[in-house]
Structure formats: C-alpha cells, structure tokens
C-alpha cells in the first residue's frame, strides 16, 4: 500500500530517541526513518527529571517533518513508576522472574498516574485521523487513558519483551486492572507466537474473552487484533559495517592479540535476563570438559551497565566480576586471559567487527523478547567462512533461527557441548546453516517489522472503537 495518503503516525515510547545521538542502524533509527518518510510525531519522556509536578512542561521540537513532543518525569515518578513498577515489577514478572520482582502500592499507583498523564498530554495533540503506535511495557495502560478522554483514533501497541503465561502474570499487582486497560488497544503486537498465545489465553480464560477469528479477540466489548511481528535489524547496514576496511583492521587486531584463538563473543546489556553468570559458568564447564582448548579459547563479554539504581542489577554486576575473576584465576596464564569482560558501551562499528572476528556468537539469555544481538551476529558474518551462532531456546529469536545451535542456558553441559560442536563444525555445515539464518534475518528485518505492524494498524478491518 502506498504511504502518501496515510494518516499521520504518532509514535509513543517511554524514552524518545534523540535524533542527534543515535548510532546508525538501531531500532530507534528505523522508527525515526519511517517517521521522516511519512511525517509524524514522536511523543514521550525526554530523559529529564524534575523536582515536582510544577516543573513538568511539554516541549515541542521539529526536525524535518517529525515533531518531537517530550516531557520530563518527576523524581517521584522516576523512582516509583520507572524504576519501581516498570523495572522492578513488570520487567521481572514479564521475564518469568518472580523471585526478583518487588511490589509496592505506591509504585502501582505511580504507573497509573504516569500513564494517565501521558494520555492527558497526548490527547491534546492528537488529530482526528492520527494513528498511534505505543511501545513497550511502560505504556500498557495508555490506551485506556486515551479512550476515557473520548479519543477514538486507531491505537496500536507493540510489546518488546516476553508475555508470560497467566499463572505467572497474575503475580503483577492489580493485573486485572492492567489487563482491562491493555485491551483498549486496537492492535497488539508480540515478538513470538508463544507470547501471543499466552496473552490470548489470559484474555479467554481470565477475562471472558473469545477468539472471533484468527488473531482477533473480542474482550470486554472491544475487538482487538492480536498478532506476532518479530523485530529485526537493518541487515545491509550491519553487514556493511562488518566488512568495511576499518572492520578488517579491527579483526586483524583481534586476531593478533595472542596466538591463534577461538574467539567467542557475547554482547548484552548487563541485565539478569541475559543469563551472563550462567554463560560464564558454561564457559568454565567447557574449559573443564575440553582442556585442549585452554590457551586457545577466549570469551569476550561486552556488557554495558544499565538500570544500576535497581538492586538486582548491582547484584549481578558483582556476581559477574567475581565469576570472571575466578575463571581467570583458575585457568588463566601469563599469556592467556580466558574471559575478557568489558563493562561499557562500544560503538556499533566495533561491535560489528568483533562479531565478524569471532568464530562463535554466544547468545544465551534466560528469557528474551527477541534478542537483536543474535541477528546482528548472523548479519556480520563472512558468508564464505561464517561463525556459528549458539542460541538460547528461551530467546524469542529461537522461534525463527532454528539453524543456530539451540541450547538450554541453564544447563552448563549443554552449552559447553554446543561450543565444542561449533568449534569443530566443518565449513560446509557452517555455510549451510549461516545461509539459512541470513535468509531468515533478511526476511524479517527492521523495515518489514515496521511495515507489517503499520499495515495492520492502518488497514485492519477493525471498526474504530465507539
């Protein structure tokens, strides 16, 4: 469908991307590109924190035909809504980690309050025919706030993280309120079929909803289109970064930093969902089971800090530092450091080169919505001599990327054996697996993800809500 006659797109996300500070190729860039193409608005938090509500002002800036409408959070909102409910309650529960979830009544209230404030401000700027696309778990209740203000526009939502089965979801305080608010969206998108099925199960079993057609749910008098839209990357830009002359130089450097090596790469935000301690333990198990690789195999783990104000995040940092010290102490030698642990952000160009220079991409989250690192690793490989992706069965990406070596990240022996299998895999098998993976990554790239979601939102036969 041509996009010229399409309605104005209003993207809403917790954090609005700063157009001047985006690394090329990220998901935010893809969204921005599409906004620039069709014109639109990006609405959300600007990252600033003010003392109290009196300090909240809505700011409007323009770049080409995109308007950025942003506002700050108060200190209290930041602590109770963002850190408290979003990142210490919803994030762990939606990743099946009830053991790490922390709940307080104040935090739940703050989530309501901030969603309501977003709805209030957004309602003021919405034109009659705009379509709204909200992103992620911070904004589940936004649609209900808009509907209660009489907004009848088409509203879409995409969840970037997993959606757990009903038995797990009910651990969220006031989950009934939350789910009743959720179903005011017209289109709800998930990363995987499993997430979609979990959501529909909750709606049908706990809310008297019913499936009225494939992917169409009637619940509480709303008709909701519920589908899967797996997130992807910009394959060509990543592949180009990985094979440019500068990348070649970096790869030569990587290979020169020691004798012939098996380079294993891990790249993740330092988040407990990414399974980093288990990964380090698996690597230790690999060195125990296959001592012939001592002095040859190195795990480079790049893990930039994130959400450090939440306790579970500082805990994991300490655990990882202790583990990498232990492994290096136990196995390392004056000419070999088994684990190289880099706790900071790295430019995307460097990441691309590191992926290409590594024989194994180790992507072993305990639970992940999709995991774009797995796709970036595939895109960065030399098709004539590709590395092997070792991928957790609990990453959304595993639904699609079946030609990877699929592992159980909780089982150190399983992961250790997969590393060994990757090392000895014949080139022909690596090429065959890589070609199949690359085709899948290409087919489901960032542009197709956006395009298919927007098509569903633009053109779905759902009547506008009354």
Q: Applying CB under 6 A, which residues contact ligand ADQ?
A: 26-27, 160-161, 231, 267-269, 302, 304, 345-346, 351, 368-373, 376
Of 141 and 265, which CB lies nearer to ligand ADQ in the complex structure?
265
Which tokens hold the place of 272?
Answer: 């407990």
Nearer to ligand ADQ, 328 or 345 (CB): 345
Q: For residues 142 and 118, is the Cβ–Cβ distance under 8 A? A: yes
Closest CA to 282 of 394, 398, 362, 180: 362
d(CA 249, CA 246): 5
- Cα–Cα distance, 67 to 9 (Å, whole number): 11
Active site amino acids: 160, 368
Rounded Cα distance between 428 and 162, Å, is 35
Question: CB count, 10 Å around CB of 221?
Answer: 8
Asked if 149 and 122 touch (Cβ cutoff 8 Å), the reply is: no
- When the beta carbons of 44 and 369 are compared against ligand ADQ, the nearer one is 369
Q: At closest approach, how far in Å is the CB of 267 from ligand ADQ?
A: 5
- The DSSP element (H or E) to which 426 belongs, if any, is none
Nearer to ligand ADQ, 26 or 258 (CB): 26
Nearer to ligand ADQ, 78 or 355 (CB): 355
Question: Which residue matches tokens 């980690």?
Answer: 97
Output the smallest distance, CB 352 to ligand ADQ, in A: 9
Q: Which residue, chain included where needed, has tokens 């990142």?
A: 87
CB of 464 to ligand ADQ, least distance (A): 28
Rg (C-alpha) for the chain, rounded Å, is 23
Judged by beta carbon, residue 267 or residue 438, the one nearer ligand ADQ is: 267
- 3-class secondary-structure state, position 340: strand
How many residues are recorded in the chain?
Answer: 466
Output DSSP code: residue 72. Answer: E
| Bridge partners, residue 41, by sequence | 10, 67
């Amino acid at each position: 469908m041509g996009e010229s006659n399409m309605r104005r797109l209003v993207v809403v996300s917790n954090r609005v991307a700063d157009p001047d500070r985006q690394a090329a190729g990220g998901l935010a860039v893809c969204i921005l590109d599409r906004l620039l193409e069709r014109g639109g608005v990006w609405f959300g938090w600007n990252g600033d924190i003010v003392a109290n509500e009196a300090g909240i002002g809505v700011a409007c800036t323009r770049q080409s035909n995109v308007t950025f409408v942003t506002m700050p959070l108060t200190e209290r909102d930041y602590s109770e809504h963002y850190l408290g409910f979003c990142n210490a309650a919803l994030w762990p529960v939606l990743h099946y980690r009830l053991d790490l979830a922390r709940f307080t009544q104040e935090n739940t209230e703050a989530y309501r309050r901030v969603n309501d404030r977003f709805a209030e401000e957004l309602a003021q700027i919405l034109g009659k025919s705009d379509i709204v696309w909200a992103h992620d778990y911070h904004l589940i209740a936004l649609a209900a706030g808009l509907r209660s203000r009489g907004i009848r526009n088409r509203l879409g939502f995409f969840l970037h993280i997993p959606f757990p089965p009903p038995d797990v979801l009910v651990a969220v305080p006031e989950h009934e309120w939350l789910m009743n608010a959720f179903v005011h969206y017209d289109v709800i998108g998930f990363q995987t079929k499993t997430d979609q099925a979990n959501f529909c199960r909750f709606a049908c079993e706990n809310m008297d909803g019913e499936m009225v057609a494939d992917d169409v749910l009637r619940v509480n008098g709303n008709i909701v289109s519920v589908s899967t839209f797996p997130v992807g990357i910009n394959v060509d830009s990543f592949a180009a970064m990985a094979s440019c002359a500068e990348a070649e130089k970096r790869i030569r450097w990587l290979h020169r930093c020691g004798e012939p090596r098996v380079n294993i790469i891990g790249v993740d935000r330092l988040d407990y969902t990414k399974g980093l301690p288990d990964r380090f333990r698996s690597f230790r198990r690999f060195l125990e089971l296959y001592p012939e690789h001592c002095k040859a195999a190195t795990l480079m783990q790049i893990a930039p800090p994130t959400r450090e104000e939440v306790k579970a995040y500082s805990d994991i940092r300490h655990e990882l530092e202790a583990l990498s010290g232990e492994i290096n102490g136990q196995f390392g030698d004056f000419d070999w450091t088994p684990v190289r642990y880099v706790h900071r952000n790295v430019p995307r160009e460097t990441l691309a080169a590191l992926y290409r220079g590594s024989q194994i991409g180790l992507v072993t989250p305990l639970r992940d919505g999709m995991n774009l690192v797995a796709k970036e690793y595939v895109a960065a490989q030399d098709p004539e001599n590709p590395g092997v992706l070792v991928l957790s069965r609990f990453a959304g990406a595993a639904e699609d990327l079946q030609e990877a070596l699929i592992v159980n990240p909780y089982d150190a022996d399983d992961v250790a054996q997969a590393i060994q299998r990757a090392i000895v895999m014949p080139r022909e098998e690596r090429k065959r697996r890589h070609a199949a993976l690359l085709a899948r990554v290409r087919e489901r790239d960032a542009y197709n993800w956006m395009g298919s979601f927007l098509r569903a939102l633009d053109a779905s036969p759902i009547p506008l809500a009354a």
